């Protein structure tokens, strides 16, 4: 009985933020009178938060490798969007050639920052703060302080388009459903079930901790129900947004890198204890360098997606975006000291931020109040994570531990 309670408690801690996301969705669904989960609004949530998810995945790797953050990502979005607008709209260049050049620009900006951080050992805060000022200034110079619009249709499809329905539609209970969207949802559910069962069997065969069949079954039912519910809502509007395909590919690739590769394990080792990792043969400087190159590359991807959503290259684009990405990582369970964090947790953190933004906007809550709420949610999530997972008592409690860097890393 006690063993079951311990496992249940462990599972609840593991899925705390997921439970919080479900609670927030239900709360805003009630408060908005059912508007939050209307098919059209669900698609809008995907469009509105695509850039946050992309940035948060890149920011996670920066945080994991040493608890550092990149303050320049919003300015990279401004500069990349400005260049895309200039190349495609003003100069009439080929859309895909322009996209490729903008992505290379993002890589170059990452190389610039990564060199100073990893090899010259200037603190990341200083280097990225400098980048925030320099890159935004360059973006304003490219645009000359003016907005450039509109983009051609082939570029717009990056962020505002939908996957074509190759099968057709079916009408159920008076609602037309996009069958291509439904088929993708079913295939995803099957893939998740196969991967989860195979992974559990592999852990069991190696003598690692594995989930009981009943717990795994409940978990798979909940996951599949959530996936099918999501794709059913999308199917009732216009199907799968193109940007959702981009997000899916990025999430799969970076989940694989962080969990299945040597480089991924070395990143976590570097964040846990850089000196020990270096003495163990881990090339910590190269990992730091690559994490910032990757961050700027993903910021360039986010810049292209966001410019397509705006249908313009604006000097105001990207302002404050770094805060959304950082907040998504920490809400999703990343440690401020490095070495801890997952791609799936970051996705949940980004969704929490996105649902909060969307729900409060539907309710007509001012942007100032939204900032207050998001700030408190971020502080509460990090505080809860430290106090529950690390089992640290507060200073005024009897027999409490001192909260510090070493205890937080334990």
Residue 284 lies in a domain: yes
Six-digit token string for 118:
């990893």
* 67 & 213 share domain: no
Q: Output the DSSP codes for 109-120.
A: HHHHHHIIIIIS
- Cα(89)–Cα(148) distance, integer angstroms: 7
* 32 & 125 share domain: yes
User: Which residue is it, tokens 């090899």?
Assistant: 119
* 115 & 259 share domain: yes
- Note the pLDDT tens digit of each residue in 86-127: 999 999 999 999 999 999 999 999 999 999 999 999 999 999
* 71 & 125 share domain: yes
* 226 & 267 share domain: no
* 133 & 279 share domain: yes
Six-digit token string for 168:
């057709």
* 343 & 405 share domain: yes
- Cα(342)–Cα(264) distance, integer angstroms: 11
- Cα(84)–Cα(99) distance, integer angstroms: 7
User: Residue 98 maps to which CATH number?
Assistant: 1.10.3470
* 171 & 142 share domain: no
- Name the residue among 171, 99, 145, 113 with its Cα closest to residue 316: 145
Distance of CA 285 to CAs 62, 221, 282, 293, 294, Å?
12, 43, 9, 12, 14
| Local confidence pLDDT in tens for the 410 residues of the chain | 445 555 545 455 557 788 888 899 999 999 999 999 999 999 999 999 999 999 999 999 999 998 789 999 999 999 999 999 999 999 999 999 999 999 999 999 999 999 999 999 999 999 999 999 999 999 999 999 899 999 998 898 877 889 888 888 887 777 888 999 999 999 999 999 999 898 888 888 888 777 788 888 988 998 899 999 999 999 999 899 999 999 999 999 999 999 889 999 999 999 888 889 998 899 999 999 999 999 999 999 999 999 999 999 999 998 889 988 998 998 888 887 888 889 999 999 999 999 999 999 999 998 888 889 888 888 887 777 667 655 544 444 444 444 444 434 43
Six-digit token string for 245:
């395909």
Six-digit token string for 309:
């959503």
* 222 & 119 share domain: no
* 182 & 330 share domain: no
Residue 10 lies in a domain: yes
Six-digit token string for 323:
């805060």
* 23 & 99 share domain: yes
- Please, what's the b/e burial string for 136-147 (b: 16 or more CB within 10 A of its CB; e: otherwise)? bebbbebbeeee
* 68 & 194 share domain: no
Residue 32 lies in a domain: yes
Residue where a domain terminates, one of 240, 265, 285: 240
Distance of CA 39 to CAs 36, 60, 213, 233, 275, Å?
9, 30, 34, 5, 50
Residue 354 lies in a domain: yes
Residue 153 lies in a domain: no
| Residue 146, C-beta contacts closer than 8 angstroms, at least 6 positions apart | 315
User: Which residue is it, tokens 């193109």?
Assistant: 242
- Note the pLDDT tens digit of each residue in 218-228: 889 988 999 99
Q: Which domain holds residue 231?
A: 162-240
Structure confidence at residue 160 (pLDDT) = 81
Number of domains into which the chain is organized? 2
């Amino acid at each position: 009985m006690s063993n079951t309670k311990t496992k249940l408690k462990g599972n609840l801690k593991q899925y705390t933020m997921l439970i919080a996301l479900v609670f927030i969705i239900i709360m805003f669904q009630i408060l908005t009178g059912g508007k939050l989960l209307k098919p059209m609004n669900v698609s809008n949530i995907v469009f509105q938060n695509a850039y946050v998810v992309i940035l948060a995945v890149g920011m996670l790797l920066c945080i994991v490798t040493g608890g550092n953050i990149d303050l320049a990502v919003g300015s990279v979005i401004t500069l990349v969007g400005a260049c895309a607008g200039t190349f495609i709209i003003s100069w009439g260049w080929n859309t895909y050639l322009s996209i490729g050049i903008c992505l290379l620009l993002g890589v170059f900006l990452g190389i610039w920052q990564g060199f100073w951080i990893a090899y010259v050992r200037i603190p990341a805060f200083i280097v990225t703060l400098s980048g925030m000022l320099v890159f935004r200034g360059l973006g304003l110079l490219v645009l000359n302080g003016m907005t450039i619009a509109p983009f051609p249709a082939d570029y717009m499809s990056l962020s505002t388009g939908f996957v074509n329905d190759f099968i057709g539609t079916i009408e159920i209970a008076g609602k037309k459903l996009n069958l291509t969207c439904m088929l993708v949802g079913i295939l995803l559910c099957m893939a998740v079930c196969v991967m989860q069962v195979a992974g559990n069997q592999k852990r069991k065969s190696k003598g690692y901790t594995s989930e009981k069949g009943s717990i795994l079954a409940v978990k798979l039912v909940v996951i599949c129900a959530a996936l099918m519910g999501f794709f059913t809502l999308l199917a009732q509007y216009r199907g799968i947004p193109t940007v959702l395909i981009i997000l899916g590919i990025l999430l799969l690739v970076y989940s694989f890198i962080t969990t299945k590769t040597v480089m991924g394990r070395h990143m976590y080792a570097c964040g846990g204890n850089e000196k020990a990792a270096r003495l163990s043969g881990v090339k910590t400087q190269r990992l730091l360098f690559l994490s910032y190159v990757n961050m700027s590359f993903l910021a360039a991807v986010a810049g292209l997606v966001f410019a397509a959503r705006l249908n313009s290259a604006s000097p105001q684009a990207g302002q404050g975006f770094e805060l959304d990405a950082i907040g998504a990582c920490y809400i999703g369970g990343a440690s401020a000291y490095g070495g801890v964090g997952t791609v799936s947790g970051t996705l949940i953190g980004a969704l929490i931020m996105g649902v909060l933004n969307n729900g409060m906007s539907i309710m007509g809550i001012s942007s100032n109040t939204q900032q207050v709420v998001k700030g408190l949610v971020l502080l509460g999530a990090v505080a809860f994570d430290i106090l529950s997972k690390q089992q640290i008592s507060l200073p005024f409690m009897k027999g409490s531990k001192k909260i510090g860097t070493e205890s937080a890393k334990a």
